[in-house]
Amino acid sequence: MSQPPARVLVVGSGFRFTSGISYYTCRVANALSGRAGTSVLLMRRLIPRFLYPGRRRVGTTVHELRYDPAVTVHDGVDWYWLPSLVRALRFVRRQAPELVVLQWWTAAVLHSYLVLAWYARRRGARVVIEWHEVQDTGEARVPGVQRYARALVGRLIRLADGHVIHSEFDRRLLEQNYPLDGARHVVVPHGPYDHHAAAPAERGDDAFHLLYFGVIRPYKGLEDLVAAFDSLTDEQAAGLRLTIVGETWEGWHAPLQAVAASRHRDRITVVNRYVADAEVAGFFAAADAVVLPYRRSSSSGPLHIAMSAGLPVIVSDVGGLREAADGYAGALHVPPADPAALAAAITRVTALRGERYADVRSWDDVVDGYLSLAGGAERVPA
């Protein structure tokens, strides 16, 4: 295939089990539709509902993002396959893509991706895997899942013609776990999440508002932020408010227990649920700065929302997050699992009240990465 493809199929997460990958799939497909005929095949029922950490909201509409009318969408494939997989293969045949891009974020889709990749190759398409992380940390702790992934991800990689990776950190991690054997790849930063943009909110106080946003899981480090906030003097805390917005996963209640015991409890607001898009814009519009104290991470949707909003952001210098924020003037990096460093950064960030910064990310960069792999371009240097 010497020319960029005329038809591209993106395979990713649907909105029944809404997550960051649901938004990413929609945003990248919409961006791609301006450059090539684009269709989308969605993974619909990822796992049995009772196993999903956010089971209470499965099937509930929390998003306002929509696919562009130019994008043909099929929703979708269920984990138990029949009859959804048969219909999905018919959809692939009708769309006749020249390039198929598989969004990888969970081993729950591995068995379906193996069939889809094999079928696409059989029909003459190139297959690209876009890696959001090697394996979800929660999945890795489930008995047998890590062994299952290690046994079969290599087969999926062998069906791929190339890979899109969001940081050098992820590339190294991927090759440590699943050698790519010289396969072509591009390293392209995650695109912007500017669909949540809103005008700054009017507030009834003069406090400096800090925002933590995202699901509450062990690796997110929220308890480090609570400890940092608790370590502030009464005088320092009096000028601050901390808002925590996120849904508890994996039974990780330690951060909210720490909030309940905090001596600055009256300065902390907790919204312990997965919030709808209309609310997301409001929380970021009301914030003066965002704090993301991850202990590990490949990438971060909340980081990209913060950068699209132009806000100062305190973010752990861990995993691929420094690369994700590279070039963004509003990023303050701190060591992971270090409440003292977080507290110091909080006192520094208050001097940035009202400052706004340009987001350096672009969906065009991601699309260019796809097309370079599909069009026979030389491998992008690692």
Cα 317 to Cα 36, 212, 297, 331, 334: the distances in Å are: 37, 16, 10, 10, 6
Mean pLDDT for 325-332 is 97
Regarding whether 271 and 339 lie in a shared domain, the answer is: yes
Q: What is the pLDDT of residue 135?
A: 77
What percentage of residues in the chain have a pLDDT greater than 90?
81
> Rounded to an integer, what distance in angstroms lies between the CA atom of residue 50 and that of residue 176?
33
Q: What is the pLDDT of residue 199?
A: 64
Taken in order 206, 282, 333, 307, the sign of the CA dihedral is: negative
Regarding whether 79 and 171 lie in a shared domain, the answer is: yes
Regarding whether 318 and 242 lie in a shared domain, the answer is: yes
Regarding whether 141 and 53 lie in a shared domain, the answer is: yes
Regarding whether 102 and 26 lie in a shared domain, the answer is: yes
Three-class DSSP category at 77: strand
> For 183-235, how does the pLDDT look when each residue is reduced to its tens digit (9 = 90+)?
899 999 999 999 887 666 667 789 999 999 999 999 999 999 999 999 999 99
Regarding whether 126 and 97 lie in a shared domain, the answer is: yes
Q: What is the pLDDT of residue 204?
A: 72
Tokens read off for 277? 């898009």
Specify the residue for token string 């950068």: 307
CB 79 within 8 A of CB 47: yes
Q: What is the pLDDT of residue 375?
A: 66
> Rounded to an integer, what distance in angstroms lies between the CA atom of residue 329 and that of residue 320?
17
The answer to whether residue 23 scores a pLDDT higher than 50 is yes
Regarding whether 169 and 108 lie in a shared domain, the answer is: yes
Tokens read off for 180? 């790519």
Mean pLDDT for 283-295 is 96
CB 294 within 8 A of CB 300: yes
Alpha-helical runs (H) found in 41-128:
84-95, 110-122
Strand partners, 184: 162
> Rounded to an integer, what distance in angstroms lies between the CA atom of residue 366 and that of residue 186?
9
Regarding whether 201 and 187 lie in a shared domain, the answer is: no
The answer to whether residue 361 scores a pLDDT higher than 80 is yes
The answer to whether residue 374 scores a pLDDT higher than 90 is no
Q: How confident is the model at residue 278 (pLDDT cuts 50, 70, 90)?
A: confident
Q: How confident is the model at residue 377 (pLDDT cuts 50, 70, 90)?
A: very low
Domain extent, residue 54, equals 7-191+362-374
* Residue 357 lies inside a defined structural domain of this protein: no
Q: Which of 59-63, 135-139, 197-201 has the lowest mean pLDDT?
A: 197-201
* Residue 380 lies inside a defined structural domain of this protein: no
> Rounded to an integer, what distance in angstroms lies between the CA atom of residue 4 and that of residue 222?
44
Q: What is the pLDDT of residue 380?
A: 34
Looking at every residue in the chain, the average pLDDT score rounds to: 92
Number of domains in the chain: 2
Regarding whether 145 and 45 lie in a shared domain, the answer is: yes
* Residue 141 lies inside a defined structural domain of this protein: yes
Regarding whether 161 and 179 lie in a shared domain, the answer is: yes
Q: What is the pLDDT of residue 378?
A: 40
What percentage of residues in the chain have a pLDDT greater than 70?
96
Tokens read off for 307? 């950068």
Alpha-helical runs (H) found in the chain:
20-32, 84-95, 110-122, 137-140, 145-158, 168-177, 222-231, 234-238, 254-261, 277-285, 301-308, 321-324, 339-349, 363-374
**214 dihedral zone (left: phi>0; alpha: psi -120 to 50; beta):** left
Burial environment of residue 130 by CB neighbours within 10 A (0 to 12, 13 to 18, 19 or more): buried
* Residue 2 lies inside a defined structural domain of this protein: no
* Residue 213 lies inside a defined structural domain of this protein: yes
Q: Which of 48-62, 110-124, 242-256 has the lowest mean pLDDT?
A: 48-62
Q: What is the pLDDT of residue 141?
A: 74
Tokens read off for 208? 């400096």
CB 28 within 8 A of CB 191: yes
Q: How confident is the model at residue 90 (pLDDT cuts 50, 70, 90)?
A: very high
144 against 163, higher pLDDT? 163
The answer to whether residue 1 scores a pLDDT higher than 60 is no
Highest mean pLDDT out of 151-160, 194-203, 271-280, 341-350: 341-350
For residue 73, the domain's CATH number is 3.40.50.2000
Q: How confident is the model at residue 16 (pLDDT cuts 50, 70, 90)?
A: very high
Residue 361 CA to chain centroid, in angstroms? 14
Q: What is the pLDDT of residue 338?
A: 98
Q: What is the pLDDT of residue 357?
A: 97
> For 31-48, how does the pLDDT look when each residue is reduced to its tens digit (9 = 90+)?
999 999 999 999 999 999
CB 194 within 8 A of CB 308: yes
| 211: DSSP letter | E
* Residue 143 lies inside a defined structural domain of this protein: yes
Cα 140 to Cα 109, 131, 147, 150, 273: the distances in Å are: 15, 16, 9, 11, 24
> For 307-320, how does the pLDDT look when each residue is reduced to its tens digit (9 = 90+)?
999 999 999 999 99
Q: Identify the CA nearest to 243 among candidates 325, 302, 317, 193.
A: 302
Mean pLDDT for 1-6 is 69
> Rounded to an integer, what distance in angstroms lies between the CA atom of residue 374 and that of residue 382?
18
> Rounded to an integer, what distance in angstroms lies between the CA atom of residue 375 and that of residue 45?
33
Three-class DSSP category at 382: coil
Regarding whether 224 and 161 lie in a shared domain, the answer is: no
Q: What is the pLDDT of residue 5?
A: 86
Regarding whether 324 and 239 lie in a shared domain, the answer is: yes
> Rounded to an integer, what distance in angstroms lies between the CA atom of residue 350 and that of residue 346?
7
CB 322 within 8 A of CB 333: yes
* Residue 40 CB neighbours (<10 A): 27
